[in-house]
Amino acid sequence: MKAQKFSIFVIIVVLLFSLPALAADESEMPGKKIFLKFKCNSCHTVINESITKKASKKKKKKKKKKKKGAGAPDLSGTGANRDMEWLMGYQKKKIKIKGIKHAKKFKGNDDELKAISAWLLSLKEPPKEASK
């Protein structure tokens, strides 16, 4: 049966995708902590790393629409599309996407920027589910 084969395929793919995530949990990379420390998740999600959007002010007013960081992509698959140099340059606002600089200039030191970029670089799987 075609449908059955397909669902087996889906299960295998899901398992394959979840293995690296499980392994990563044991030795969490410093870049992930730095990502959270600098509140990158006020705009970005990283679905594959269970990072969801966090309101910067603890849900005081529940504003509808016009959320902060509208249009900020999920960063789950960043490592598949970018390299270290690009990531560091972009966060320092030296590199642009289609003529537009990043919304936020990185405020940490070079080590933190390297750690965060290395972590993003390690994320090569596209988001498992839609971020929006």
Cβ at position 77, least distance to ligand HEC in Å: 8
User: Would the CA dihedral through 31, 32, 38, 41 be positive or negative?
Assistant: positive
Q: Does 131 bind ligand HEC (CB under 6 A)?
A: no
Q: Which residue intervals of the chain are DSSP H helices? A: 2-26, 30-37, 78-81, 84-91, 110-122
- Please, which residue, 2 or 107, has the CB nearer to ligand HEC? 107
What would the two tokens of residue 93 be?
């606002």
What would the two tokens of residue 124 be?
């090569």
Q: Does 43 bind ligand HEC (CB under 6 A)?
A: yes
- Please, which residue, 69 or 127, has the CB nearer to ligand HEC? 69
Q: Does 122 bind ligand HEC (CB under 6 A)?
A: no
Cβ at position 41, least distance to ligand HEC in Å: 8
Q: Please, are residues 120 and 77 in contact by the beta-carbon 8 Å criterion?
A: no
User: How far is it, in rounded angstroms, from Cα 132 to Cα 127?
Assistant: 11
Q: Would you tell me which residues interact with ligand HEC (CB under 6 A)?
A: 35, 38, 40, 42-44, 68-69, 71-73, 75, 78, 81-82, 87, 90-91, 97, 100, 102-104, 106, 116, 120
